[in-house]
Amino acid sequence: MYNEFQNPRLSEALRRCYGEQLETSTFAPELAAHIILENDRFENRILQGLRYWTTGTVLITASVGNVSRLQIHNPPNSGIIVVVTGFIALNPASTGSYSVQLDSALAGTPTANFAVDTRVPASAAVRRVASLNRIDNSLPALSGVNLYRRTSVVGADVVFNLEDSSGGPEVPITLVPNSTCELANGTLNQQLSAIGFGYDRQARPEELVLS
* 63-89 residue pLDDT tens: 999 999 999 999 999 999 999 999 999
Q: Is residue 102 a part of any domain in this protein?
A: yes
Q: Is residue 208 a part of any domain in this protein?
A: no
Q: Check whether residue 19 and residue 67 sit in a common domain.
A: no
Q: Check whether residue 146 and residue 173 sit in a common domain.
A: yes
Q: Check whether residue 27 and residue 125 sit in a common domain.
A: no
Query: How far is residue 92 from each of residues 27, 97, 100, 162, 197, measured CA to CA in Å?
Result: 57, 10, 16, 20, 19
Whether the Cβ atoms of residue 106 and residue 46 lie closer than 8 Å to each other: no
Alpha-carbon span 27 to 11, nearest angstrom:
12
Alpha-carbon span 30 to 70, nearest angstrom:
51
Q: Is residue 69 a part of any domain in this protein?
A: yes
Query: How many other β-carbons are positioned within 10 Å of the β-carbon of residue 187?
Result: 18
**Residue with the larger pLDDT of the pair 188 and 46:** 188
Q: Is residue 40 a part of any domain in this protein?
A: no
**Residue with the larger pLDDT of the pair 4 and 151:** 151
Q: Check whether residue 15 and residue 57 sit in a common domain.
A: no
Q: Check whether residue 96 and residue 136 sit in a common domain.
A: yes
Q: Check whether residue 20 and residue 79 sit in a common domain.
A: no
pLDDT band at residue 145, thresholds of 50, 70 and 90? very high
Please write the tens of the pLDDT for every residue from 180-192: 999 999 999 999 9
Whether the Cβ atoms of residue 103 and residue 170 lie closer than 8 Å to each other: no
Domain encompassing residue 30: 8-35
**How open is the CA angle 178-69-161, to the nearest 5 degrees?**
85
Q: Is residue 136 a part of any domain in this protein?
A: yes
Q: Is residue 17 a part of any domain in this protein?
A: yes
Q: Is residue 3 a part of any domain in this protein?
A: no
Q: Check whether residue 178 and residue 105 sit in a common domain.
A: yes
The partner residues of 185 in beta bridges, in order of sequence, read: 68, 98
Q: Check whether residue 193 and residue 168 sit in a common domain.
A: yes
Q: Check whether residue 182 and residue 85 sit in a common domain.
A: yes
Nearest to 143 by CA among 184, 104, 97: 104
Q: Check whether residue 80 and residue 157 sit in a common domain.
A: yes
Q: Check whether residue 158 and residue 199 sit in a common domain.
A: yes
pLDDT band at residue 176, thresholds of 50, 70 and 90? very high
| Mean pLDDT across the chain | 84
Q: Check whether residue 25 and residue 59 sit in a common domain.
A: no
pTM of the predicted model as reported, rounded to 2 decimal places: 0.82
Q: Is residue 146 a part of any domain in this protein?
A: yes
Number of domains within the chain: 2
